[in-house]
Structures are given as structure tokens and as C-alpha cells.
Amino acid sequence: MMARSRRCLPWGLMVLALAVSPGGAVARAEAPPVTEARPTDVPSAAGLTPVAPGQEGSAGLAPPAGTLEARPAFTVLPAAVSLGPGLLLHGLGPLVAGDTRTAGRLFLLEGTGLGMVMAGMVPIALSGASRRIIGPLYAVTMTGVGLFSISTLSNLYGAVAPAFPPGVAAQRLPPLELELGYQHVSDRTFSYRHFVSLGALARLERVRLEAGAKLSPDDGNLRVRVGGAYRLLGAPEGARGGADGSALDLEAAALAHRYPAEGFTLAGGELFVRGRYDMARFSPRTAGSFAELGVGLAMQRYVYEGPVDDSLFDSLLYTFGYGVYLGRGGPFRGEALFYYEHRKDDFPGGIRRFGGVLGYFGLRGRVLLTERWGVSTDLQAGSALVGRVSLVYALGGVR
């Protein structure tokens, strides 16, 4: 269905890549006028000292400009406007507060998202969802939905965040993390319910390696995923040396999911480009949060027991989300992310409304509570409800 989607790199991801690249226009944007200086909001250990042009680190990313001196104070009226009429016009709250720069950026982000949705949906409707053009147009539409959603969530976050000290991205994450947990799946289609969850994550300079398995003791259902990522832009997770988490990664993975009770196996591979944008670059109001956007392509195959054997098929992969950093220094460090995942081959499946086109929504968090121990959680909702909680053990600690 999405065979032609591989020819289209969504504009939103291109913009994000330019933003995190050396010399990106957004990276060097000036901060809005100062409402109230609050230097204690972010500890100096976070590495947020403003960097002059030409003084960036080896990754080419300067810390967010003005984070220390320009974070506005919380005021009730702009927050009320953002949570009221600002849900329709996302820049109204900052505009009432006199922050015209942030207001303009929110209006632009919202308008761009709506424009891309229309640019994709109108030709899809007029062509009767022709298979010849559906792939690129659907990618454009999803990018528009992602940008509009990020604008909505950044508006909500910016309305209340000035009342609290912001979290910061971890300067250094452990070289190896192992996890063991439990996953529960509530799905009317399949009989499985309980799973043992295993995972491992290794960080080697600009390379990240991951492996995970979920096994149901009830019927032997097993899902194994092995993959890795290469950091194209941004500092490595194991040595950021600053408080900016902006990055662009190229990811690849192989997947095998065995359904012994049903008599088939799903197997395949995928390529994915994922970008993260530290929202402190967008506005001091949204310091402590980040946005993610990614697009990819999966090639998969169903293998049945017996003579039946289906051919390869491809699927468009897409994700967007909005998250917050947890912790402001010391061993307590992590993040939480609300996201949409456009895929239907995982345990949550796809949302069955709207013709079964949509994927699923999720909320996940990962936090290290001490130098060695932490927790990871994930809640997903599609055609099924999936919940997972895992204990994380870190080798190498976190600083």
C-alpha cells in the first residue's frame, strides 16, 4: 500500500534536521524579552552557559540560547488563555504575555501543520486514494498531523511549565543498560495476556545497539527485535557534555514475531530516520521539553506453517511525540514521552476506527533512580491495551 512512500522525506523531518545541524537558524535564535531572570531554574552543572558563535562542542550544537536568563515567570492570565482559546490558536497565550516571538513561532508551526494536512488529504480524496500517489501524500499528511500535534502540546506545556523548574537532558548516559520486566496485553483477537520482557541497550560513541524479547509463557508467543542506530547529528548520548538533547539518528532493525497457536510468523526489517528537537531552542517557555519526529519503511513477510507462503510487503512507518526531561542533575535522570506510532504489527495493533488507518498512541518513561538502578514503563492503546513495567540495571552509572 505504501510502496511509493520511500521516495518522500517529509518536510517536517527536513526542517528538524536543519535545525539541529551546525549553524541551524533555529539553534542560534535570540531569546524573547526577559520577563523575570531566574538563574536558579537550571543548575550550572547542566552545562547551559551560553556559547558564542564558533565555540560549540564537537557535535556542532550550542546549548539553547538564553535558557538561563530568559525563562519567563508564571502568570495566570496567559496560562488561562493558552488552555482556553489558545487550544485553537496556539500562540494566543504567549501573545497576551507580550512574548511575540514565541507567539509567532507557535502560529507558524500550527499553520504549517494544518497546511500540510490539507496538501495531503485533498489530493488523496480527489484521486480516490489512488495507490500511485497514496504513499507520498500520506507521508505529507502525517507530517502535518505531527507538526500540529507538537504545536498543541508545546502550547499546553508552555502555559504551565514556567511555574516549575525545568528538567535537563542527561549529560552522560550509561554505556550499557539491562532490563527485566512484565508486560500485560488485553486483546480480544488473541489469547495471550502475560509476557516476560527482556531488553539490553549499549552505547558506543555515536552508535547505539538495542535488543529486546517478549515471551508469553502461556502459549509461547515470542517477539524478538534487534537493531541499532547511528547518530548523524548531535552529541552522543554517552557524552553530550551539555544540556541540549537535539539529534538526528539513522536506525535499522530486524524483527521476528512468532504466533505458535495461530501457526504463523511475521518477520522483516526496517530503516528509520528519527529526529529530536530540544524545545528550549524554540522558546524559553518550553525549556525542559523536546519534540520527536521520524519516518521509515518496513519490509515484512508472513510465513505460515505448511505450503502457504505470502510475499513481501512494505509499510510506511511514522512517529511523532512530545516529551519532558526528568531530573536536573545527579543520578536521578530520565525522560517521559507521549507519542503516536504509525504501525500495526506490534501488540497494540492499530486503532480500528477511521477505517483501520491509524496506528496507536503511547506514553512511556525511563528514569534512573540511582547510579545503578532505574525503571522503564510503557502504556500503549490501539485495538488492544498494552502495559509494561521493567526494572533497569545500568553498568557504568550516570553523571
- pLDDT, tens digit (0-9, with 9 covering 90-100), for 201-243: 999 989 999 999 999 998 889 999 999 999 999 988 877 766 7
Name the more confident of 330 and 112. 112
Please give the CATH architecture assigned to the domain spanning 176-395: Beta Barrel (2.40)
Which single residue is written with the C-alpha cell 489530493? 123
C-alpha distances out from residue 364 to 185, 295, 386, Å:
16, 19, 11
Looking at residue 132, its amino acid is R
pLDDT band at 114 (very low <50, low <70, confident <90, very high): very high
Asked if 329 and 43 count as a contact pair (C-beta separation under 8 A), the reply is yes
pLDDT at 355: 62
Q: Residue 323: helix, strand or coil by DSSP?
A: strand
Q: What is the pLDDT of residue 25?
A: 37
Predicted model pTM: 0.79
In the chain, where the domains are located: 3-163, 176-395
Cα–Cα nearest to 276, from 304, 221, 234: 234
The pLDDT tens digits for 231-284 are 999 988 877 766 788 999 999 999 999 999 888 899 999 999 999 999 999 999
The whole-number pLDDT of residue 150 equals 93
Q: For residue 169, which of 100, 216, 234 has the smallest C-alpha distance?
A: 234
Choice between 175 and 219, residue whose per-residue pLDDT is larger: 175
**The C-alpha cell of 58 is what?**
564537537
| Cβ-based neighbours of 290, under 8 Å, separated by 6 or more | 169, 245, 246, 276, 277, 278, 279, 322, 323, 324, 325, 335
Q: What percent of the chain is predicted at pLDDT more than 90?
A: 44
In this structure, what C-alpha cell is assigned to residue 394? 545500568
The yes-or-no verdict on residue 110 having pLDDT over 50 is: yes
Tell me the CA distances in angstroms from 93 to 85, 173, 320, 360, one per residue in order: 9, 36, 24, 30
pLDDT at 36: 39
Helices (H) and strands (E) in the chain, counts: 5, 12
Mean pLDDT of 389-398: 84
Which pLDDT band holds residue 307 (cuts at 50, 70, 90)? Answer: low
123-160 pLDDT tens trace = 888 777 777 777 788 888 888 999 999 999 999 898 88
* Secondary structure class of 108 (helix, strand, coil): helix
Four-CA torsion 228, 380, 340, 59, nearest 10 degrees:
-40
pLDDT for 229 equals 96
Q: What average pLDDT is seen over the chain?
A: 80
- DSSP letter, residue 72: P
> How does residue 385 score in pLDDT terms, banded at 50, 70 and 90?
very high
What does the pLDDT look like over 160-171, one tens digit per residue? 888 888 888 888
Cα–Cα distance, 127 to 184 (Å, whole number): 42
C-alpha cell at 95: 501573545
pLDDT at 26 over 50: no
- Cα angle vertex 145, ends 115, 212, to 5°? 150
Residue type, 143: T
> How far, CA to CA in Å, does 63 sit from each of 56, 239, 350?
8, 14, 38
Confidence of residue 55 (pLDDT cuts 50, 70, 90): very low
Residue 8: the pLDDT is: 39
Query: Rounded to an integer, what distance in angstroms lies between the CA atom of residue 33 and that of residue 16?
Result: 25
Grouping H, G, I as helix, E, B as strand and the rest as coil, residue 369 is: coil
Q: Is 177 exposed, middle or buried (0-12, 13-18, 19+ CB in 10 A)?
A: buried
pLDDT at 53: 36
